[in-house]
A and B are shown apart, each in its own frame.
Chain A
Amino acid sequence: MIIDLREVMMSIEKINEAQPLLSVQDLRVWYELRRFGFGHAGYVKAVDGVSFELAEGETVAVVGESGCGKSSLMKTILGLNMPTSGGIVFDGENLSELKGGGLQKYRFKIGYVQQDPYGALPPFMSVQTILEEPLIISGLQGREERLARIHKVMTEVKLHPVEDFLPKFPHMLSGGQQQRIVIARAMLREPKLIVADEPVSMLDASVRVEILKLMRALQESHGLSVIYITHDLSTVKYFSQRIFVMYAGNLIEKADTRRLLENPLHPYTHALLAATSDPDARNADSFKEVPPSEPPSLVNPPQGCRFHPRCARAIAGLCDQKEPVDFEPEPHHFVACWLYQPQ
């Protein structure tokens, strides 16, 4: 039975390998630092050698702390940043080769759900204007067609009756409703991929789950691929099939959600899981184990493994010298850590 399952998974894997929706190969996004406005002063290596593939209809969570490069990765996938090196191929198009109109079309195919709904909605525009504008820009001519499309997405995000919401301005809506508008806007042009940057971190606990469930329902009914960027591991398992853990510009662990939560391998992933609390009165009796110090500067990241200065299990002479490569200690579970080097 287990072998059968594995074979099925392998065959799924093969299909995915044949046509990934998104393929990121050895992506680097470096920002140049300038001294006094000119003169080179090094690079901020925000994304430094990231590779992964995303199948159609697959959801993946990118987990990491602020400053680890997850926003740079996301913006590059959205086509807002250009890769310094490496490639992004989305739906058969290579981002590095696109310009002008081609780049605009590329961006139309990816929806973006921002973190702070109030900041993401222009305060002086009504809901109708907010939702109509992207359709005008993408060239949908007929007003009737545009309104029909707006009605459809508003119904999908469960903002009904639609007519009541159209003339409202963002400040007249609750946080949850604002975030639904942001999701509706991302869905307008029927994207194949949605990039959601901490979509629920600004919302209250009781609304958070509602929005996550809505996003999952949309993902399932439209067969969307979703990249869910978050720092909150406790919401991940309700939403994504795979987790990528990001640290200092690298993806250090990649695995199925369940496998990663049950059997985390990288010491940093261990630390993240240990720091995540569940509501329990016994938490107050003990201290949390937290790795010392803070994430490194991305201008001069440490030599070798970037986590080694904070790692309790670092191997002297190895971790501080050589950058670890991806090992696969169990099938489909990748970890960039020398501890899992095959003997």
Chain B
Amino acid sequence: MNQITSHKLLQIEKLELHFKTRGGTVQAVDGVNFTLDSNRAVVILGESGCGKSSLAKAMLRLLPRNVDKYDGRVFLQGADVMEFDDEEFRKNVRWLGISLVPQAAMNSLNPVIRVGEQVAEPAIVHLGLGKAEAMNLVQKMFQHVGVPQDFVSRYPFELSGGMRQRVALAMALVTSPSLIVLDEPTSALDLLTQANIMNVLKRIKHELGTSFILITHDIATSSELADEVAIMYAGQIVETGHARDFFPAPLHPYSQMLMASVPRLRSESDPMFITGQPPSLINPPKGCRFAARCPFHFEKCNDEPPVFERNGRSVKCWLHA
């Protein structure tokens, strides 16, 4: 198994994360598979409540207390990290292998510690660097993300939202992980700041060869970074493919309707909306989970569709059988 996966940076197989709640079991991540090569960026697109943030948590094993089921396999550079115990995982995977830039990262900085020290901390803890070395590294990271060098001794409140977002990014980079998971990195930012952050991410990808998993609902902005796209719906990935194949012609009916709902500045097309609501993840419908909202549904959709693969694309829909 390891031999097959060794050339992939990340391979996820049948990842499941279910939560216990009073109403029943929430199947937030339900059998997710995907792979990622090094120096590539995959965008996981989905609407709120589809389980995309839970997927990020599942990959990094940042689990809340009410976990009902956590299962599947995650290979990072060939190693099956699901076999690791919590301490091994903390030491070897988090920060060193995969860093996370959490949602609203710019508000996740400690308000009473200087930003330079905060960025240095993962380097001190995980790389075992001395403080002076770590601060040198911080200076270098600040350069990569475009934060002026003298900002190291500032406090978070002295920085604008865009600058704080860059600082959070620098923190994720400081341990030179091969993969960074970004959860909605630009959704709280202004238009020009968003464009700036996307520029920074592109530059990091070129200069440092980092891979990205970008989790977002902002389809237009996500295309700025995407090499590959995965569409998530009701806890499952329903379509994957190269960005240049996906954006012009999505395959799954949900992807098609989602793309048609995006208002465009440079086209005259009238955006459409998807009627109905995603199903509850507590008792998701049997068969295809999108069937109730799908204009093309037919008898077969009562059975759960398998994933059909063709030309490097995959789609979980009976129409493509």
Contact = CB atoms under 8 A, between A and B. Distances in A.
Contact of A205 (B41, B190, B196, B262): B262
B301 to A, nearest CB: 20
A171 B48 CA distance: 15
A287 interface: yes
B47 A281 contact: no
A272 B265 CA distance: 11
Contact of A272 (B191, B259, B272): B191
B84 to A, nearest CB: 33
B195 A279 contact: no
B247 A206 contact: no
A213 B275 CA distance: 13
Nearest to A272: B191
A300 interface: no
Contacts of B266: 278
Interface stretch (B119-127, B149-157, B213-221): B213-221
Interface of A is mostly: helix
A283 B265 contact: no
A283 to B, nearest CB: 5
A262 to B, nearest CB: 11
A205 B264 contact: no
Interface string B89-101: 0000000000000
A222 interface: no
Given A205-B47, A208-B261, A287-B202, A275 B226 contact: no
B223 A283 contact: yes
Interface in A279-313: 279-284, 287-288, 290-291, 294
A281 B196 contact: no
Contacts of A282: 244
Interface string B265-302: 11100111110010000000000000000000000000
A204 B48 contact: yes
B103 interface: no
Contacts of B270: 238
Contacts of A272: 191-192
A218 interface: no
A314 interface: no
A240 to B, nearest CB: 13
Given A66-B190, A231-B191, A284-B227, A277 B220 contact: yes
B253 interface: no
B243 A284 contact: yes
Contacts of B227: 284
A208 B273 CA distance: 8
A205 B199 contact: no
Contacts of A275: 191-192, 194-195
B64 interface: no
B312 interface: no
Interface string B141-171: 0000000000000000000101000000000
Interface string B184-226: 0000001111111011001100000000000001111111111
Given A175-B48, A234-B264, A271 B273 contact: no
Nearest to A214: B273
A82 B271 CA distance: 39
Given A280-B247, A284-B227, A238 B195 contact: no
Contacts of B246: 281
B257 interface: yes
A209 B271 contact: yes
B265 A234 contact: yes
A234 to B, nearest CB: 4
A318 interface: no
Given A206-B273, A288-B195, A294-B162, A279 B259 contact: yes
A209 B220 contact: no
Contacts of A234: 220, 262-265
Given A238-B271, A279-B223, A204 B217 contact: yes
Contact of A65 (B191, B225, B263): B191
Contacts of B247: 279-281
A277 B192 contact: no
B199 A288 contact: yes
A210 interface: yes
A271 B264 contact: no
A281 B223 contact: yes
A339 interface: no
A106 to B, nearest CB: 32
Nearest to B247: A281
B132 to A, nearest CB: 31
Interface in A193-239: 204-210, 212-213, 231-235, 237-238
B195 to A, nearest CB: 4
B258 interface: yes
4 tightest Cβ-Cβ pairs between the two chains A and B: A275-B195, A210-B273, A281-B243, A281-B244
Given A272-B192, A288-B199, 8 more contacts: A209-B261, A232-B191, A234-B262, A261-B265, A275-B192, A278-B264, A278-B265, A290-B199
